[in-house]
C-alpha cells in the first residue's frame, strides 16, 4: 500500500487543496484532509488526526502536509510523529507539491525519499514572472513587519528595570500561527514565555512548544511562580516579551503573586468543552473562567477578544455579562 497522506490547515484550505489536486491527477486513495475551525485547539485536532489515522493504511508510513510551521495543525501532528520513525511533517504545502507527492508515492516506498521529493517540488514551484529573489534590487530586502495599529494602545510597558511585556494573551493553543506570524512581528519581540504549571513539568510538551518559534525568537515554558521571578530578574530588562496563558486564572495568580503591572489582556482562543458556554466563535468559558475574568476587570485591566492585531477588539466583559 502507498504511504498515507493527511492534509491539515487552518479553515477549509486542506479540503479544497485536495479536491483541486485530484482534478489534475485523479482520485487518490489512502489520503485524508482535516480542517481547523476557530473554536478548536491542538487537543481537538489530535482527536481528528487519530480518527483519520484509524481509517487509513499506515503500515508504509504517514506524511502530514500542513500550512504553517508552528501553527496548530503542525503542533498537533508533531505530537503524533514522536514515536514513529516512518511519520513526518512538511509545512507550506502547495498544489505542485501535492501533485508530485501523489505521483511519486506510487513507486516510492520510503518516507525519507517521499519527503525529499515533496520539499524539492514545493520549493522549485515558487517563482515570479518578472522578478527574482536574487535580482540586484531585491537581494538586500529585509522581511517587513506589520506596523502597530491604533488598537494596541493598552501596551503592557513598564518603566522599571524589568522586561517589557508587549502582550499578555490567553489562548489554549499557546504558541501557534497567529502568535508567531502576526503578534510576534507586530511588537518585534525576541522572547515568548508560556506560563503553565502543568506543561512546565512535562518535558516532551515543553520541547515541542519551544521548537516552533521562528528564527530570532526564543521560547520558554515556565510555571506561574517562576514567571514572577523571571519578570523581576534584571537580566531580562531589555527583552520584549509575549506571555501566553491557557486560562485567566493563571493571569490572576501572576498579578496577585508578584505585582506584575498589567494593563490589558488579549484573549485569542479558548476552545469549547463540556461545562463551557460559548460567548464568541473562538472563546468559550466556564464558571471558573468567568470568576477570573471578573477579577481582572475589577483590577482595572482591559479585556479584549482579538485574534490578530488587525482585528477590531471585542469587549469580553460585555459578552460575559450577557450570559450571567
DSSP string, 79-122: HHHTT-TTEEEE-S--HHHHHHHHHHTTT---HHHHHHHHHHHH
Q: Which residue matches cell numbers 516512518?
A: 86
pLDDT at 263 (0 to 100): 93
**What residue spans define the domains of the chain?**
4-124, 150-321
Sign (positive or negative) of CA dihedral 56, 58, 59, 62: positive
Q: What is the pLDDT of residue 1?
A: 78
67 vs 207: CA distance, rounded Å: 21
Homologous superfamily (CATH) of 150-321 is Phosphotransferase system, sorbose subfamily IIB component (3.40.35.10)
Q: Which residues are annotated as catalytic?
A: 10, 176
Equal CATH topology for 4-124 and 150-321? no
Distance CA 308, CA 50 (A): 29
pLDDT of 144 reads 46
Residues β-bridged to residue 157: none
Cell of 148: 502597530
Mean pLDDT by 10 residues, the chain (324 residues): 94 95 94 92 94 97 95 94 95 95 92 95 87 62 48 58 93 91 92 96 90 89 95 90 97 90 94 94 96 97 95 96 90
CA-to-CA separations, 233 to 72, 81, 242, 243, in angstroms, rounded: 32, 37, 16, 15
pTM above 0.75, yes or no: no
CATH architecture of the domain with residue range 4-124: 3-Layer(aba) Sandwich (3.40)
3-state SS, residue 87: strand
What pairs with residue 28 in β-bridges?
none
Torsion of CA 49, 55, 56, 57, to 10 degrees: 130
d(CA 262, CA 254): 10
Amino acid at each position: 500500500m502507498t504511504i498515507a497522506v493527511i492534509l491539515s490547515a487552518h479553515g477549509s484550505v486542506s479540503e479544497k487543496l485536495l479536491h483541486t489536486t485530484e482534478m489534475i491527477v485523479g482520485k487518490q486513495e489512502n489520503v485524508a484532509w482535516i480542517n481547523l475551525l476557530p473554536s478548536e485547539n491542538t487537543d481537538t485536532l489530535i482527536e481528528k488526526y487519530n480518527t483519520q489515522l484509524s481509517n487509513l493504511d499506515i503500515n508504509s508510513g504517514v506524511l502530514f502536509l500542513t500550512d504553517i510551521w508552528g501553527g496548530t495543525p503542525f503542533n498537533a501532528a508533531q505530537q503524533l510523529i514522536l514515536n514513529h520513525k516512518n511519520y513526518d511533517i512538511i509545512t507550506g504545502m502547495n498544489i505542485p507539491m501535492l501533485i508530485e507527492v501523489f505521483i511519486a508515492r506510487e513507486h516510492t516506498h520510503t518516507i525519507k525519499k517521499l519527503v525529499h521529493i515533496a520539499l524539492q517540488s514545493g520549493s522549485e514551484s515558487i517563482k515570479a514572472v518578472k522578478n527574482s529573489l536574487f535580482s540586484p534590487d531585491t537581494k538586500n530586502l529585509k522581511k517587513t513587519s506589520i506596523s502597530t495599529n491604533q488598537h494596541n494602545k493598552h501596551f503592557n510597558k513598564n518603566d522599571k528595570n524589568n522586561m517589557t511585556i508587549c502582550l499578555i494573551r490567553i489562548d489554549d493553543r499557546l504558541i501557534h500561527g497567529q502568535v508567531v506570524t502576526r503578534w510576534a512581528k507586530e511588537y518585534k519581540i525576541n522572547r515568548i514565555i508560556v506560563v503553565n504549571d502543568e506543561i512546565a513539568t512535562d518535558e516532551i510538551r515543553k520541547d515541542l512548544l519551544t521548537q516552533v518559534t521562528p528564527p530570532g525568537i526564543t521560547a520558554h515554558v515556565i510555571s506561574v511562580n517562576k514567571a514572577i521571578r523571571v519578570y523581576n530578574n534584571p537580566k531580562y530588562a531589555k527583552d520584549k516579551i509575549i506571555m501566553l496563558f491557557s486560562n485567566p486564572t493563571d493571569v490572576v495568580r501572576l498579578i496577585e503573586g508578584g505585582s506584575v503591572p498589567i494593563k490589558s489582556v488579549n484573549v485569542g482562543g479558548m476552545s469549547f468543552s463540556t461545562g463551557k458556554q460559548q460567548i464568541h466563535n473562538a472563546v468559550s468559558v466556564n464558571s471558573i473562567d468567568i470568576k477570573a475574568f471578573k477579577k481582572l476587570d475589577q483590577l482595572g485591566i482591559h479585556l479584549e477578544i482579538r485574534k490578530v492585531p488587525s482585528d477590531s477588539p471585542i469587549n469580553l466583559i460585555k459578552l460575559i455579562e450577557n450570559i450571567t
